Amino acid sequence: MAEAHVEEDQSPDTDRRDFLYIATTAVAGIGAAISLWPFIDQMNPTANVQALATTEVDLSPIETGQTIKVVWQGKPVYVRHRTQEQIKAAQSAPVDDLPDPETDADRVQQDQWLIVVGICTHLGCIPVSDPDNLRGEFGGWFCPCHGSHYDDSGRIRKGPAPDNLAVPPYQFIDDNKILIG
Amino acid sequence: MITQTKRYPPRWSVLTIGVAMGLALAAWAPVRAADEATEALSPSARDWSFSGPLGVFDRAALQRGYQLYREVCSACHSLEFIAFRNLADPGGPEFSEEAVKALAAEHSVQDGPDEFGEMFDRPGRLSDYLPSPYLNNNEARAANGGSLPPDLSVIIKARTNGPNYLYALLTGYEDPPADFELADMMNYNPYFSGRQIAMAPQLFEGIVEYSDGTEASVAQMAKDLVQFLTWTAEPKLEERKALAMPVLIYMLILTILLYASYKRIWRDVDHN
Amino acid sequence: MAHASTYKPRSGFARWLDSRLPIMRLAHDSFVDFPTPKNLNYWWTFGGILSVCLVILIFSGVALSMHYTPHADFAFASVEHIMRDVNYGWLLRYMHANSSSMFFLAVYIHMLRGLYYGSYKEPREVLWILGVMLFILMIASAFLGYVLPWGQMSFWAATVITNLFGVIPFIGDEVLAWLWGGFGVDGPTLNRFYSLHYLLAFLIAGVVVLHIWALHVPGNNNPKGIDVKGPQDTIPFHPYYTVKDGFALGVFLIVLALLIFYAPNILGHPDNYIPADPLTTPEHIVPEWYFLPFYAILRAVPDILFIPAKTAGVIAMLLAIFTLFLLPWLDSSKVRSARYRPLFKQFFWIFVIACVALGWAGSQSPEGMALLVARISTLYYFAFFWVIMPLLGVIETPKSVPDSISKPVLGSGSAAASGTSG
């Protein structure tokens, strides 16, 4: 009797049995894992949020020397109509000495329009340029939180911020209108 | 006495339950004969391309249905849960994105306030929702003799047997019987609850000229509108039915595997 | 039943954890090596099914709550936003709504199983009472949840049911204002119903833990209704009942999937796709199908002596549920399982018919045939618990109950027996 039992343990019946259980467990596991996806994906941006990924800005009312703040994807974006002095200052800065080297030409599509995201690259405060005398030492923006100074191209010059102000993707719809995003 | 080992529950009780439930279900089902002069007729069942496990929308019908909504219904009925971008979504009319951008720009949408605090109008964008013909329900009622034209986004789901009901309603206008008391400004329609409806018949042969050249008979327009409004109510219908098949096949396989495992594990257990 | 733990931690980490928080031991002793009667039939799989349903409802509910807005002006639109804009939002919404229905289907079967096999009898009275508490929590939770989409049925069901509290003598109106947060069902009502719906879900989960704990002390009942006599009568929960419950769950989930994917609105009411309008009452205010029997009882009762029909109806409805708490003491029979109670068995099946009839009556206008059926069925419902069950214990001659669950190793298979409930 005992011998028959021992043989049974090594019969192909055992292999088939184990395979069935392994297959069942595997199929169940895969299904459980896949069914988690909708619960994860539902946290991704919804269709209506994705539709608002762009902001249109009318440039015509912005006078030379004036800066306006618009909202794009919930973030502040500065649109500055630069004066000739500001453009010259931005273009003649020593690029290699900058903490985050970048030419002005790489940051604008048309010289008189500077468009940057108004979030300090240090810890996320909003740098200011109003009133005019509170723009920091380089004429651009000044971040009141920890004293970062940005120039007329939105580049970091002095202070703890590591990077230049981000330039959002934008395009000119016509001479007086841009679409950000 | 030897204990019985029959299968439980006993057959006769199951039969009784079955009969009881069958009767209950039969009584439950919305079968209503028109035995009263004001009780609504039941709409007849029609074939719809979106019905059944493999149902899909008729794309061309959806596009025609939108045109119909725009040219006829939108004068009084809002479609507040549809944004212009939805008209380009998969599973719907699937207009091209450029076409929908142009379509949206034809509409005037309120925006604001501007820097002076005033609201202003501007051309529609993809992200805008279809504008309502009225500012609010009160204006809608005032413009329609006190009746409120309902928003049509989910009307198909808000009515029993929605698609068939809507088709019957739109094509079912007729003269009232001689003895029927029709109230002022009302219209006779045997499919509407109470048989009189504030909305006058809207579909007449040729009232729109379909851009795809299809003949605009009343029956055709009613069908197209049912397709379109079923989509507005259930924009995910095609996605839902497409996902159903792999899910059910998977569940079947898993259940069979579980049954086989169950049988094998229990093979040597005397459990009766 | 409480048994010596057989858990053996296999790794260093397992031993370390076991000496600090023996959670693996608890899981092993409760769900792996738990001695379970070997003769359980498929009616015993619904406990596991209910647990899975609860998990599905909680997961889908938490996901939905990330997108839902509990404000009267935005609730309906937020549900449409979920259906249209949220990734898989339509799936989550239909999953949540249809799992609710399946949750109730499973609980009714689960309760009827308990009724038929005497699972409520000594020593499982507390288990049964916890179960009735769970049923009440489910009713409350489902009612609250149905209000959230803020459709016509949501609003008017809330109005009808909250108005019932007005029958409380002397303080009825104050209680109503307190419940509503205003002068009628409105924004404040919706907001607090949302909060409570979320809370109740987790209360249910907590009481389920107590329910399983109360079960594991005496151990499971079984179709024969007799106590386990020794290890020959039991098998370990895993793998025998994990696989059987798994199979039953597979069948159940296929039914749920068929609903979600092919008929997601069939158990709902079209009027709930009409935004709530406090100035327009729907033609027929009807609750979801699982509440129909109680709705029938509520409307079946006429004026009784000095008690107006509305109050009497509320009392009858509450009594119908409260009666369930007393069941272990109303049934005087010493025999647990209806298998050996030929008279009780027949009354039981008539009881089931009465419940189905009440459900039908609840869907109809309370007049004519529907009202007659509702009244007869309500009378039978109460007679079943308050008259028949106490009487049967005395007058019924049960069939002889088997001696043991498994056939004895030696000798013939039966003996004349009487008492079995220990």
> Among B126, B127, B257, whose Cβ lies nearest the Cβ of A23?
B257
pTM exceeds 0.90, yes or no:
no
A26 in reach of chain B (CB within 8 A)? no
- In the numeric block, which tokens belong to residue B154? 């989910």
pLDDT of residue B34: 42
Q: How far apart are the C-alpha atoms of B146 and C279, rounded to whole Å? A: 14
The reply to whether CATH 2.102.10.10 applies to domain A48-180 is yes
Whether C144 shows a pLDDT value over 50: the answer reads yes
pLDDT of residue C407: 74
Q: How far apart are the C-alpha atoms of C156 and C147, rounded to whole Å? A: 9
Whether B91 shows a pLDDT value over 80: the answer reads yes
Residue B51 falls within a domain, yes or no?
A: yes
The average pLDDT across C195-217 equals: 98
Query: Best mutation site among A8, A9, A20 for testing chain B: the one with the most B CBs within 10 Å?
Result: A20
- In the numeric block, which tokens belong to residue A71? 């909202």
> Among B3, B150, B261, whose Cβ lies nearest the Cβ of C400?
B3
Pick C35-281's CATH classification: 3.30.420.40, 3.40.1530.20, 1.20.810.10, 3.90.1150.10: 1.20.810.10
- Tens digits of residue pLDDT in A98-137: 999 999 999 999 999 999 999 999 999 999 988 777 788 8
The pLDDT-based confidence of C2 (bands split at 50, 70, 90) is low
Burial B234-243 (b: 16+ CB within 10 A, else e): bbbbbbbbeb
- Tens digits of residue pLDDT in B205-253: 999 999 999 999 999 999 999 999 999 999 999 999 999 999 999 999 9
The pLDDT-based confidence of C415 (bands split at 50, 70, 90) is very low
Residue B99 falls within a domain, yes or no?
A: no
pLDDT of residue A74: 86
Which residues does chain B have within 8 Å of residue A70's beta carbon, measured at their own beta carbons? none
Residue B45 falls within a domain, yes or no?
A: yes
ipTM over 0.85: yes
The average pLDDT across C244-251 equals: 98
The pLDDT-based confidence of C280 (bands split at 50, 70, 90) is very high
Which residues does chain B have within 8 Å of residue A51's beta carbon, measured at their own beta carbons? 83, 85, 126-127
Annotated catalytic residue A149: no
Q: Which residues 201-240 of C are in CB contact (within 8 Å) with B?
A: 223, 235, 239-240
Q: Could you tell me which chains touch chain A, where touching means 3 or more CB pairs under 8 A?
A: B, C
CA terminus-to-terminus distance, chain C? 14
pLDDT of residue B10: 55
Whether C347 shows a pLDDT value over 90: the answer reads yes
The pairing of beta strand A148-151 with beta strand A156-158: antiparallel
Identify the domain containing residue B205 by its residue range.
34-82+130-259
The average pLDDT across B8-31 equals: 56
Q: Could you tell me which chains touch chain C, where touching means 3 or more CB pairs under 8 A?
A: A, B
The average pLDDT across B157-174 equals: 97
Query: Hey, where are the domains in chain C?
Result: 35-281, 286-403
Q: How far apart are the C-alpha atoms of A70 and B232, rounded to whole Å? A: 34
Q: Which residues 379-398 of C are in CB contact (within 8 Å) with B?
A: none
- In the numeric block, which tokens belong to residue A56? 């249109």
Residue B63: give its domain's CATH number. Answer: 1.10.760.10
Residue B161 falls within a domain, yes or no?
A: yes
pLDDT of residue C410: 56
Q: How far apart are the C-alpha atoms of C185 and C162, rounded to whole Å? A: 8
pLDDT of residue A2: 46
* Number of domains forming the structure of chain B: 1
pLDDT of residue B25: 53
pLDDT of residue C414: 46
Looking at domain C286-403, its CATH architecture is Orthogonal Bundle (1.10)
Residue numbers in chain A where pLDDT is lower than 50:
1-10
Contact indicator for C273, B160 with CB cutoff of 8 Å: no
pLDDT of residue A5: 47
Residue B226 falls within a domain, yes or no?
A: yes
Q: How far apart are the C-alpha atoms of B118 and B110, rounded to whole Å? A: 11
pLDDT of residue C409: 59
